[in-house]
């Protein structure tokens, strides 16, 4: 035992002796020391259990954060690159049908289409997927309603037009789809 614990035990024995008002035997002093040490041991065990549990919780939280960081690290970059894909699609849509038949323009169009397909392939490789919206019910977690379109054919609240495609990265929304929603015809 250390000198400090000897002093603490002597102080404890003196306190017990004063409280009892009578002289204590060495056995009583030893029993008091053992009881104090057992209490200290129980407290130390409890504190150790709390520290181990806290360490495990911190480790689990850090592992989850690391997994999320790996899975979603490309989120900001992917969101920025989506506009590039949108512009490629707009470029293809802007080419009139008569120019598509021109031999001089065919290779340009084929190149733009190949670039668009490669971009979609890279997105899929990294967990970025386009989702279909037309014909589904409006889901505010995945869609952003831009207009209401009177329709006798579709149920109110059904998406009838997609102005901009929506994308998911893994299981999270990367970009909501901008959609037109059916409303009851007047």
Roughly what angle, to the nearest 10 degrees, separates helices 103-125 and 75-94?
A: 160
Q: Which two structure tokens, joined as six digits, stand for 186?
A: 């007047």
Among 129, 61, 12, 142, CA closest to 20: 12
What is the per-residue pLDDT for 1? 46
- Location of structure tokens 């109110």: 156
Whole-angstrom Cα Rg for the chain? 36
**In whole angstroms, what is the distance from residue 35 CA to residue 23 CA?**
19
- The pLDDT tens digits for 158-186 are 999 999 999 999 889 999 999 999 988 77
pTM: 0.64
Q: What is the pLDDT of residues 5-18, one digit of tens each?
A: 555 555 555 555 55
Least confident of 45-54, 66-75, 109-118: 66-75
Please tell me what DSSP assigns to residue 167: E
How far is Cα of residue 151 from the mean position of the Cα atoms in its chain? 38
Mean pLDDT value across residues 16-36: 73
């Amino acid at each position: 035992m250390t000198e400090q614990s000897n002093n603490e035990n002597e102080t404890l024995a003196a306190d017990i002796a004063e409280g009892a008002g009578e002289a204590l035997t060495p056995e009583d002093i030893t029993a008091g020391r053992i009881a104090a040490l057992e209490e200290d041991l129980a407290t130390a065990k409890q504190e150790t259990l709390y520290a181990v549990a806290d360490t495990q919780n911190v480790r689990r939280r850090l592992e989850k954060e690391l997994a999320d960081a790996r899975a979603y690290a490309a989120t900001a970059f992917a969101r920025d690159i989506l506009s590039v894909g949108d512009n490629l699609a707009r470029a293809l849509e802007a080419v009139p049908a008569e120019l598509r038949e021109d031999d001089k323009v065919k290779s340009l169009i084929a190149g733009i289409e190949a670039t668009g397909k490669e971009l979609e392939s890279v997105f899929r490789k990294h967990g970025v997927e386009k989702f279909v919206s037309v014909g589904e019910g409006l889901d505010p977690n995945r869609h952003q309603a831009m207009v209401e379109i009177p329709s006798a054919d579709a149920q109110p609240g059904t998406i009838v037009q997609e102005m901009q495609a929506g994308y998911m990265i893994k299981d999270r929304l990367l970009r909501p789809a901008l959609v037109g929603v059916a409303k009851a015809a007047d």
